């Protein structure tokens, strides 16, 4: 625990302080873009006046381009944790840089991070988006930045989510740069308990009984395809698995520098090849997950997806450069601050409270990524019946 604290504290300080800087700049942009934030009327008027002075000359497209750079500066710190600190190996065939809907099985606690690593390799990290649960946007720094970056947040209740999802998808039609929109059709992370629930439902409904995936919830996928098909050319179907000889990567293991190996299989589908009807699109999604289940079964037996084109491309230096740059900037700022503002005993106590708060926030981020905190089995049964 002490070793973990020694590691988490400096990395947490780096991520939270740099993230707050990024969030502040994103917040200024967001007001100009008329994104809704709850503030008192007086505070809003003051802030809006500042925003109009700073960013009035910029168009919506310019806002998005700036935000892409800001988001990438923050996400690259987490990619560095994956690539350089924990040195997690990953093998895949690199996809392209284009508008794409990305679907994937939800196998591990850090599938979202694996997606960011993949997007970074393809030049789409700053414009990587996702459809995620609503509670994520309240996570310090990372959730706030997702909100500013136009991630789509859902309650996991179709009656509440339908209009919100359609509105978020429609906003992407004029996105100025290649973006990836990630959707996890299973709706929750894979666990053995959830697999049993999915198998029982499949058997009772006359569906193929899965062994390595959960049954996809197709309404969100159908809505995404229906709204994106006119300007998104491709769907990336990604299958993620961990070799049996490796321990599954988690955020806590990464902080402890415990490495692992992640295998990915990527298949590109043309959007225009999908059926035109909603029922046809839903069946296409279910069929893809039946094929994915068989592919993961093969990987479990052989330890590989059998793709000759898959490769380990090493660790790009961009994330390392960004982390070093942020570290130098924040250390310089701290030195200047401490030099000109000598601390009294009271101020030292406030610093200790700040460090404790950093540890608490990092613990919240780590715990939020754990599969035990995802949808419980009884809730899963209900959502299967509503899919």
pLDDT band at 4 (very low <50, low <70, confident <90, very high): low
pLDDT band at 45 (very low <50, low <70, confident <90, very high): very low
**φ and ψ at 221, to 5 degrees?**
-65, -45
42 falls within a domain: yes
CATH of the domain at 270: 3.40.1130
Q: Is the pLDDT of residue 58 over 90?
A: no
Q: How far is CA 27 from CA 19, 30, 46, 126, 333, in A?
A: 12, 5, 14, 16, 22
Q: Is 103 helix (H, G, I), strand (E, B) or coil?
A: strand
User: What's the whole-number mean pLDDT along residues 26-51?
Assistant: 50
141 falls within a domain: yes
- pLDDT tens for 190-217 read 999 999 999 999 999 999 999 999 999 9
CA angle 47–51–53, rounded 5-degree value: 120
pLDDT band at 8 (very low <50, low <70, confident <90, very high): confident
355 falls within a domain: no
350 falls within a domain: no
Q: Is the pLDDT of residue 3 over 50?
A: no
**φ and ψ at 240, to 5 degrees?**
-115, 135
359 falls within a domain: no
Higher pLDDT, 24 or 379: 24
Q: Are 145 and 364 in contact (CB under 8 A)?
A: no
> What is the spatial distance between Cα 295 and Cα 298, in angstroms, rounded to a whole number?
5
Structurally, how many domains does the chain consist of?
1
360 falls within a domain: no
Q: What percent of the chain has pLDDT over 90?
A: 46
Token output for 269? 């589908």
Q: What does the pLDDT read at residue 229? A: 94
357 falls within a domain: no
- pLDDT tens for 243-252 read 888 888 888 8
Q: What is the average pLDDT value for the chain, to the nearest integer?
A: 83
Q: Is the pLDDT of residue 40 over 50?
A: no
- pLDDT tens for 281-327 read 999 999 999 999 999 999 999 888 875 555 666 788 999 999 999 99
- Please state the pTM of the whole predicted model: 0.85
99 falls within a domain: yes
Residue span of the structural domain in which 380 resides: 2-316+367-386
Q: Is the pLDDT of residue 130 over 50?
A: yes
Cβ neighbours around 16 below 10 Å, total: 20
User: What's the whole-number mean pLDDT along residues 148-172?
Assistant: 90
The residue count for the chain: 387
103: β partners: 183, 237
Q: Are 190 and 214 in contact (CB under 8 A)?
A: yes
Higher pLDDT, 30 or 192: 192
């Amino acid at each position: 625990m002490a070793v973990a604290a020694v590691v988490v504290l400096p990395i947490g300080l780096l991520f939270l302080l740099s993230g707050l800087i990024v969030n502040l700049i994103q917040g200024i942009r967001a007001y100009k873009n008329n994104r809704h934030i709850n503030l008192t009327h007086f505070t809003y008027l003051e802030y809006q006046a500042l925003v109009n002075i700073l960013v009035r000359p910029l168009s919506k497209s310019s806002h998005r381009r700036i935000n892409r750079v800001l988001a990438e500066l923050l996400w690259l710190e987490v990619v560095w944790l994956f690539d350089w600190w924990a040195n997690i190996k990953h093998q895949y065939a690199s996809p392209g840089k284009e508008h794409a809907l990305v679907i994937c099985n939800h196998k591990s606690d850090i599938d979202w991070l694996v997606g960011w690593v993949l997007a970074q390799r393809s030049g789409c990290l700053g414009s990587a988006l996702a459809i995620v649960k609503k509670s994520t946007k309240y996570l310090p720094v990372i959730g706030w930045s997702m909100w500013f970056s136009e991630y789509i947040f859902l309650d996991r209740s179709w009656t509440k989510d339908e209009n919100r999802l359609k509105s978020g998808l429609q906003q992407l039609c004029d996105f100025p740069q290649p973006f990836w929109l990630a959707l996890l059709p299973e709706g929750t992370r894979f666990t053995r308990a959830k697999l049993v629930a999915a198998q029982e439902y499949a058997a009772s409904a006359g569906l193929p009984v899965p062994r390595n995936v959960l049954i996809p919830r197709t309404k969100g996928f159908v809505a995404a395809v229906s709204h994106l098909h006119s300007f998104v050319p491709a769907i990336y179907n990604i299958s993620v698995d961990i070799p049996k000889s490796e321990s599954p990567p988690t955020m806590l293991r990464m902080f402890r520098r415990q490495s692992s190996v992640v295998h990915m299989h990527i298949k590109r589908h043309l959007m225009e090849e999908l059926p035109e009807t909603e029922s046809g699109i839903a069946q296409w999604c279910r069929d893809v997950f039946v094929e994915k289940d068989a592919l993961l079964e093969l990987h479990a037996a052989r330890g590989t997806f059998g793709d000759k084109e898959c490769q380990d491309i090493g660790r790009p230096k961009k994330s390392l450069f960004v982390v070093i740059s942020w570290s130098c900037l924040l250390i310089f700022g701290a030195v200047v601050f401490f030099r000109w503002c000598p601390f009294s005993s009271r101020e030292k106590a406030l610093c200790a409270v700040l460090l404790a708060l950093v540890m608490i926030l990092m613990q919240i981020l780590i715990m939020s990524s754990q599969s035990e905190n995802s949808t419980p089995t009884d809730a899963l049964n209900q959502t299967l019946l509503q899919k």
